[in-house]
Structure 1
């Protein structure tokens, strides 16, 4: 009696395990298919290696039934048992909170195209790290420990950091330290990370976040960029995290480009330029400004952040600092210039709310009818002056007077706010950029 017929479905197969170092198209295709195939317990097909294991065990069992017990037992004993997979994870990906170390394949959910693995990671500035992290937040990349986003990185916490750091692969929380150096809490700067590895089971419960800057002057909260369910997010987070706080360790990526420790790859004292600030700005200089303002007493203006995207909190904190120096009018418009930047980075002048208080504002300057913004302090609830009348009359001339049933007049009303907001929204501004309160950009466009 032979075993050929009954066992032929098991030992005769075409599924060839691809060689890991082979670069031919066939092996590349098989490796990609194997990485993105469904697990066996979800209906996927077993790999050639697992088929060979089962075939060997079944042959041994059949041999025992036919009387070849000793030889069959030897065959069964020699069959290799599943060992730990690369990265130290011996369990199925579907049972772990993050995937294992893997190369870039660039497959978005449902896609059939793959990006070629990238070479060694290029040096990055801190600003680039934060900007890369922000792209996943903006896109709302969903959390997954087995899927890959369109840029090639696995959609879990360690894949997120691997993407932000520009690594040529998706790492894990227990391999990311190989690309970094330990630092202290007081050394944290945007682009650094905080890693927690569960000592009982590193594959389950571990996590990593990207540090985006301190959210308060006491350094009890920071802005965290992280990939966690249901999708990538940026949020104010208690230091070091919501749970296991004492076990998170700060790390700094060793691939930072030279001169990037100030958060933008430029001199920490040189004014970056007025074009880096204001509605629509999104860059590391905005983050740096917010951090400096927090250090000078402006933490109360931020519910989260500071961050790279310009917001009303940045404008109000800047204006408060300018007013603390006794500046008024266009000198306290909430947009930093060379003098504001010089005072902030070099520790000059008075802190916000400190040093004897902020002087009372002087009387309103005469209305010029030009494009010079008189200052934000002349607009809002309780204000009454000729600047409000001038604003309302210009809004009516521009076709944005639909909210007025009476007026415009010198006393600020909700009609003024709605008219301003309508004008701001017509410029394409949204959120805090269209809050109904005029700033320098609103004034300049309205009177141009």
Structure 2
């Protein structure tokens, strides 16, 4: 005999340890907000439900009742990146939500990408229950927590509380794309770190992600391989404006600058960081990479250059060099990492097309800068116009010309009339592109810098 019983579902008792209350508390903890696509039923305090019980003997006989588990739809993909709960460093108890927000520290985009690349280089194994040497859980949300420098290993459901929703057009390196699946909150959700657009049409991007078997960096269709429309872009609330020049990656002790060692060219041999290479990047390290690749047999990929702006020729030449070493998969993605850079600057491995590396060549001494004709060049206003605390039209004129010449990557906004560190870094990048060094490339424009920039 069966019968239909109707009941009101109420808020689970906080002290009750029965499986039903435990399950409902966990479901409510992970449920997405209604405005973000969550189910309204997950947030209602009371709802009507009909439960069909078996014979009265089953109800009253003292047997353990089986907990009802929602069945995911057939369109839900097989979980690939399950995640753990919010935990403190090395799995300890996390601070409360407000305390975690207050503990958030500022970090730059360059530092986020450098931290993300650190796990790629170390090939950190995927796990939702173990913690890496830096104290962060080795799943997708723990990876983002590490890259953002958070006080705890968050989840894909809690990360949005530390971020602002943005649009696809606003995405920049260090932002993230989050997919939360209400049908499978723990094992069906995922997050990736946006590393930059891979094509002009913005149909694919460089994704840093923690997935089985190890951390990876790969070109990924926007917004992801599956559930593409469900991924939403977010930006970390405590992001610091501007970039970093050398320095140390906070929290890891890993230097992101070029170091003090030199190969005789006046440039350091240390890997400058993965954030220096890829779509949208322009700097002296890309020029140097291309020159080394040409020396190792990659000249056929360049119709002109190499130059400071990253292009498809740089990617193809880098990929060819990586393949020549016998590397495959993510190790031959056309983007230089520490091993690729080490092989190039130290003459290791095989050339593109086979053969041994060429003997070291002493580079020619750079030609001292000369003053070009001043025809059509606006008069230099004087060095006192460009210094901390200065605000005038010449600063803005300088910045706008730097942008026109392709040296505006350090501007998060502007340029404007007030002298800033972004103006200095962009000026220095232009000076370095001329082959200058030392005091000649200090980031402060003199008469020669001015004439060459506007000439």
Instruction: Settle same-fold status: TM greater than 0.5.
Output: no
TM bucket, shorter chain: 0.3 to 0.5
Q: Where is the helix percentage greater, Structure 1 or Structure 2?
A: 1
> Who wins on radius of gyration, i.e. which is larger?
1
TM-score (norm 1): 0.45
